[in-house]
Amino acid sequence: MIIVAGGTGLIGQKLISELGKNDKIITITRKKSEWKENLLEWGEIFEEKWIEKLKTEREKIIINLAGENIGKIWTKATKKKILESRLNSTKTVVELAEKIKAQKLINASAIGYYGDTGNEEKDEKSKVGNSFLANVCNMWEQEAKKVESSKLYILRIGVVLDKKAKIISSSITPFFIVNPFGQGQNYISWIHIDDLIQVIKDIIEGKFEKNDKDAAGKMLKLPETVINCVSPNPVKANEFIKTISQIKKRKIISIPQIILELILGKDFVRETISISQRIRPSFLIEKGFKFKYPDIKSALENII
């Protein structure tokens, strides 16, 4: 049994579609009207009938992708919602994991954890950055670490490339390609959605497992496993936009950063558009994970 919290987002929809081919799925969401079956609202998950039903399942894995979308103007209220939505959902799934004795909890985070890295490469062992999103990710992960009964996997997810992703849809117009990155010397650490889904499937299938049982077969409490979900080949923003332009055979129109800051707000632009994040997926490389789309050209050609 796989329980997915936040299943109506970009990643969640794709994940449920893939996992549903072989596994029983229950989705926890606020948007119940969008789904037909095997769906619970957040307020229903601790009802006795559901807890008892889930307890009877031999294997239980919880995947938490829930959190307020950051792709909007950051007012004080929005920032509060971005943080609290992640903390509250994680607190809930941790409690659920304890009640039903789930074997694994896979909890989303983001490479925002590292803050602005400039040209410096960071990996899973690097320290937390100094920014709003770095603080959000750090608090988010600390909440997940409170789980006791489950093996915890924390996914620090990069910019996810998919046809529906904003970074793609907002860049392409019928007549030209929009460049919001200025000189574009900042690094983008990205991952194709198919590779991200494969990472999650590999976790579910136990491909990254350590020896996590004692001599009597009882689960041991091991440190969490942190995984940078990014391609091994980050690119500078100007290469990203240039590659889209070449594929679509359209000219590039640049938007000055000052205009973007006036429209979207300084904080949002500086932490999501002009930030530089050069992140290495050391864990996946060491485990021999085979990326289907390791380079930006093959990834973008597949998508657009």
Q: How many angstroms separate the CA atoms of 26 and 4, rounded?
A: 6
Share of the chain above pLDDT 70, in %: 93
Q: Is residue 138 part of a domain?
A: yes
Q: Is residue 133 part of a domain?
A: yes
Q: Is residue 48 part of a domain?
A: yes
Lookup result for tokens 């990069």: 158
The distance in angstroms from the start CA to the end CA of the chain is: 34
Q: How many angstroms separate the CA atoms of 180 and 301, rounded?
A: 21
Q: Is residue 69 part of a domain?
A: yes
Lookup result for tokens 């091994």: 232
User: Residues in the chain with pLDDT < 50?
Assistant: 35
pLDDT of residue 43: 79
Phi, psi of 127 (to 5 degrees): -80, 160
Q: Is residue 245 part of a domain?
A: no
Q: Is residue 172 part of a domain?
A: no
Phi-psi category of residue 128: left, alpha or beta, with phi > 0 → left and psi -120 to 50 → alpha: beta
Q: What is the pTM of this model?
A: 0.93
pLDDT of residue 63: 97
Q: How many angstroms separate the CA atoms of 215 and 261, rounded?
A: 58
**E-strand spans in the chain?**
2-5, 25-28, 39-40, 61-64, 104-110, 121-122, 151-157, 159-161, 176-179, 187-188, 190-192, 225-229, 235-236, 251-254, 278-279
Among 25, 24, 30, which residue's Cα sits nearest to residue 9?
Answer: 30
Q: Is residue 171 part of a domain?
A: no
pLDDT of residue 298: 97
Q: Is residue 135 part of a domain?
A: yes
How do residues 114-168 score in pLDDT, each as one tens digit?
A: 999 999 999 999 999 999 999 999 999 999 999 998 999 999 999 999 999 999 9
Range of the domain at 86: 2-161+190-230+278-288
Overall domain count for the chain: 1
Hey, how many other C-beta atoms are within 10 angstroms of the C-beta on 37? 7
Q: How many angstroms separate the CA atoms of 116 and 94, rounded?
A: 30
CB-side exposure of 180: number of CA atoms within 13 Å? 20
Q: How many angstroms separate the CA atoms of 159 and 161, rounded?
A: 6
